[in-house]
Chain A
């Protein structure tokens, strides 16, 4: 049984597509406090991590806030649009 499990894990890894990322882009309207609140509310990040990502968006113009499968990233993007953040998804090295 252990071997089967290992094989399944291996397949899952080998067959995974190239990862996708969810990006949040800087915009001139949204408040820094609100963007931090969204990262905490939606992703459940601790205040420190949410603040770090918010500052990354602010200073670098964008930040990767999630990595994973395409459908999952699409769910994140539409949820972040629901909060009014500027978000998009793309392939990781895109």
Chain B
């Protein structure tokens, strides 16, 4: 399992196995579906974290803010997810899914990895101090940590 690294051209590159690319694509597709099929706020803690309130001291201001901004914010998140899916669907090289990012692609990946971790974090009910509940599903925890590793290496690869 490899993370992202900076290439000699200054781009951020990673090489995924077919299995890793499949898992990641599956998760990103689910994320886009979750956002597109969202209901009213308050029904799903993951969506409440992805599309949070802009005001914490006034429900009325928060509702107004949401009315004017939520649709564009949700669209942007889905667009980022679709960009990541496209990057993961390019022809494989030597059975490896090679991803090379800079500029917009980098922003889409960092945001989408964040949104995936926020969603899984809500599903796992990660504690306020970042610890996992004792009954957390080990496979979900492993995926959450893998996404964190990808994101950490992607951030590092930009500097």
Write the residues of chain A forming the contact surface with B, with a CB cutoff of 8 angstroms: 27-31, 33-34, 37, 41, 74, 77-78, 81-84, 86-90, 94
Q: With A77-B54, A88-B56 in contact, is A29–B158 under 8 Å at CB? A: no
Chain B positions within 8 Å of A84 at CB level = 50, 111, 114-115, 118
Chain B positions within 8 Å of A82 at CB level = 73, 76-77, 111
Q: Which residue of A lies closest to B115 (CB)?
A: A84
Chain B positions within 8 Å of A29 at CB level = 117-118, 121, 126, 130
A89/B55 in contact, CB under 8 A: yes
Query: In terms of DSSP, what is the predominant structure of the interface of chain B?
Result: helix
B151 an interface residue at 8 Å Cβ cutoff?
A: yes
A28/B51 in contact, CB under 8 A: no
Write the residues of chain B forming the contact surface with A, with a CB cutoff of 8 angstroms: 49-57, 65, 69, 72-73, 76-77, 107, 110-111, 114-115, 117-118, 121, 126-130, 148, 151-152, 155-156, 158
Chain B positions within 8 Å of A88 at CB level = 52-56
A74/B76 in contact, CB under 8 A: no
Q: With A82-B73, A83-B114 in contact, is A90–B155 under 8 Å at CB? A: no
B156–chain A nearest beta-carbon distance, Å: 7
| A37 CB contact (under 8 Å) in B77, B117, B158 | B158
Cα of A9 to Cα of B59 in the assembled complex, Å: 35
Q: With A29-B118, A90-B56, A90-B57 in contact, is A81–B51 under 8 Å at CB? A: yes
What are 11 A-B residue pairs whose CB atoms fall within 8 Å in the complex?
Answer: A29-B121, A29-B130, A30-B114, A30-B118, A33-B156, A34-B114, A34-B155, A74-B54, A74-B69, A82-B77, A86-B49
Which of A41, A74, A84, A89 has the most chain B CB atoms closer than 10 A to its own CB? A84
Which of A41, A77, A81, A94 has the most chain B CB atoms closer than 10 A to its own CB? A81
A81/B118 in contact, CB under 8 A: no
A25–chain B nearest beta-carbon distance, Å: 8
Cα of A34 to Cα of B118 in the assembled complex, Å: 13
Cα of A28 to Cα of B121 in the assembled complex, Å: 8
